Structure 1
Amino acid sequence: MATIVMERIGRVFISLQQIRQVPRMLTEAAPSMPGTVRDTEVPYYFRECYISTGYRPLNQNWRYYLLSLFQRHNETLNIWTHLLAFLVFVVKLCQLAETVDFVSDPHSWPLLILILSSLTYTAFSVAAHLLGGKSELCHYSFFFLDYIGVAQYQYGSAVVHFYYAVDETLHRHMHGVFMPVTTILSSLSCLGCCYGKYCNHSLPTWVRKVCQVVPSTLAYVWDSSPVAVRLLSWSTASDDPAVLYHFGQVAFFLSCAFFFTCPLLERIFPGRCDFVGQSHQLFHIFLSCCTLCQIHASHLDYVGRRELYSRLHTSGEVALFVGLYVVTLVVCVLIGVFMLSKVKRVLECQTKSK
């Protein structure tokens, strides 16, 4: 028995060793691809705090950046964490589609909005981290797209919380107000993130963080208030399987918020987290776990609280929420286009001054 166990441990160790060699093997398989560069060789607003190496050179062809999905650089794990999350959400959607009638049952549409918004934000995040290093204009364009994805995901989170998790008292006070305010806060979150990124060319990094964190925090507090009220009023004697996942999503979100605002590991180990160990990588992982808990909790609420939410919400109200989702998406796209036009003017002025 001990021999068998040792053989299996040895196989696992060998497998881990082989996995660690994958980046080097891929780099050797594509020797024509340029190597990575130091932070001093890219514009300063491309640089991340305490990350000194692993930057991809600018102005290469698109093929290079697409193939860099399999190259070792400081964005590799940021790409793969959300790419894997995207695939997990696709599988989850396929599983739910076997039991949930997303076409004929209007009460399932908030759940569908959450899943679609989750797929959107992870896809946009992958695009930003994979392709945003091509040029200065691409950097801003793809990260503005990333912020649009985050904003519409905030709306997706709010709609399932208000639709499935809300109690009667809160619904009575927030009815007719909650979702329109959510649209406004999601749009302001997109604006704050885009403006913070735009300020990168002239202002310190902390300005960007403030512009991104403050409106996003307001949006999260508002969006999660139905869940917070429910958790605070929860009794240990009650049999509610969704509560555990609601606790999970709150814990994961607080964790990802911490690592988004504080580059702890890079600060403690400067120069050692250029490939793995970045706080933004942990932010991606915790945010993906938060989303997965949301989907699980919302599905359980969809199944177990049907009598309550079908009484509180009408089919016409569901259509309104879908319409507000479209409005939120359109407004955020317009914000992104507007901020991109400002970026183009700045870049043109910089080009003329050279």
Structure 2
Amino acid sequence: MLSLIKLPRVFTINQVPKVFHEDSIISGYRHPRSSATDCVLSLFQLTNETLNIWTHFLPSWYFLWKLVTVVLMQSAWQDSFTWPLVVFLVSCCIYPLASSCAHTFSTMSVRARHICFFFDYGGLSLYSLGSAIVFSAYVFPDKWVNSVFHRCYIPVAALNTLICTSLACYSRLGLPFLQYNRDIVKRFPEYQSPKFSKTVRIVAFTFPYLFDNIPLFYRVFLCVREGCTDNDTNILHYNHIALAFLTGFLFATHLPERLAPGSFDYIGHSHQLFHVCGILGTHFQMKAIEQDMLTRRPWLLTHSIPITFANSVGVALLCVVLNLAIIIMHCLPLFSAPVCLQKKHNKVQRKAHPGEAPAAKSPAS
């Protein structure tokens, strides 16, 4: 069937606008003014985004299956002790699905690219909050349970989630309330200083991760004697931590493609490996959380902070609403200067002669 369908053409780095460039990726780029149909068809051809999409799209269904299993088999809505796990699993479904959609439709236009990745960042920050909620419920070491830090932990994690989304969106477009002039595109941080933009994003997602994992790091690396919750689950936590740091390393370094530009354009570049390590880390994290939840339940029900709607589902819903507000605020400048966006970035013509760099084209949106 697919042999009867004409798949979209792919381009080299010199044939697409700078905003679409990926570090050390030379070929396999899709048309920067692709239609939604072209974006979907590109899932079934080899481009530099194909594996980025599938490595997150398929796992989102795995986490959805886990979520449905918990809700149906563990009667989650009748047992408040499982609410944090439900919130976490929902976030595990959202972040890979948002990422796969972002990578799929980001080549429809410059505007679409920014908006798609805004939602990707929002999904990641909600996953960070989901992790904090389950850590608070099931993972805190015994000696920290009900401490002042434990009681402040979720409110601070919620604040970090909003800061994370704001910083990540800022890294692309700057402050949303500024009045941009005709050179709006040139004022975007990602256009002016790509390295600065990347650094801001790394900081935006590293800080919430480090904060969320303070109780886990203390439990598995620093705690000694009684109250350390030293059990078999710690092996799974070690796996999760190792994969999380490998994920961050790949995102920050652009290895291995930086060592051999053009050699890993389609298979094996850092973003693909970043996706795979991130999903594997989330899998081990989920397994560890489930095991802690089962083995520690009697003790936690007696000694820990009671799990309520407010400190589990409620705070997650509130952060969803606030994250959407942040994303909308950052989207507004994109719609305030459509002509400028078109002139600066739409330089690939949909029909080009083989071997020629496509020329500028008047866009439709």
Gaps of 5+ in 2: 174-187, 345-361
Q: What's the counterpart of residue 299 of structure 2?
A: 308
Q: What's the counterpart of residue 115 of structure 1?
A: 89
Cα deviation, residue 167, structure 1: 2.4
Q: What's the counterpart of residue 177 of structure 2?
A: none
Q: What's the counterpart of residue 32 of structure 2?
A: 58
Change (3 A) 1:88 1:234: farther
Alignment of 1:1-354 (within 5 A): 26=2, 28-30=3-5, 32-97=6-71, 99-171=73-145, 172-198=147-173, 199-232=188-221, 233=223, 240-311=231-302, 312-316=304-308, 318-351=309-342
Contact map agreement 1:59 1:134 (CA 8 A) in 2: yes
In 1, Cα distance between equivalents of 2:200 and 2:46: 31
Cα deviation, residue 238, structure 1: 7.9
In 1, Cα distance between equivalents of 2:337 and 2:289: 44
Aligned-pair identity in percent equals: 29
CA RMSD across the alignment: 2.2
Cα deviation, residue 68, structure 1: 1.2
Cα deviation, residue 343, structure 1: 2.8
- Structure 1 range deviating more: 185-194 or 339-348: 339-348
In 2, Cα distance between equivalents of 1:281 and 1:52: 15
Gaps of 5+ in 1: 1-24
Cα deviation, residue 207, structure 1: 1.1
Change (3 A) 1:173 1:273: same
Cα deviation, residue 323, structure 1: 1.3
In 2, Cα distance between equivalents of 1:167 and 1:348: 56
Change (3 A) 1:80 1:176: same
Change (3 A) 1:254 1:278: same
Cα deviation, residue 339, structure 1: 0.9
Compute the TM-score of the two structures, normalised by the length of structure 2.
Answer: 0.84
Contact map agreement 2:171 2:190 (CA 8 A) in 1: no
Compute the TM-score of the two structures, normalised by the length of structure 1.
Answer: 0.86
Give the SS at the match of 1:265.
Answer: coil
Q: What's the counterpart of residue 183 of structure 2?
A: none
Alignment size in residue pairs: 326
- Post-superposition Cα deviations, 1:262-282, rounded to whole Å, max 9, x if no partner, equal 101111111111101110111
Give the SS at the match of 1:264.
Answer: coil
In 2, Cα distance between equivalents of 1:187 and 1:348: 31
Q: What's the counterpart of residue 13 of structure 1?
A: none
Change (3 A) 1:326 1:38: same
More helix by share: 1
- Post-superposition Cα deviations, 1:10-52, rounded to whole Å, max 9, x if no partner, equal xxxxxxxxxxxxxxx95x442x233101112222111101111
Letter in 2 for 1:206: K
Contact map agreement 2:122 2:323 (CA 8 A) in 1: yes
In 2, Cα distance between equivalents of 1:154 and 1:298: 14
- Post-superposition Cα deviations, 1:115-170, rounded to whole Å, max 9, x if no partner, equal 10010001100100011111111111111010010010000011111110112432
Contact map agreement 1:265 1:279 (CA 8 A) in 2: yes
Cα deviation, residue 346, structure 1: 4.8
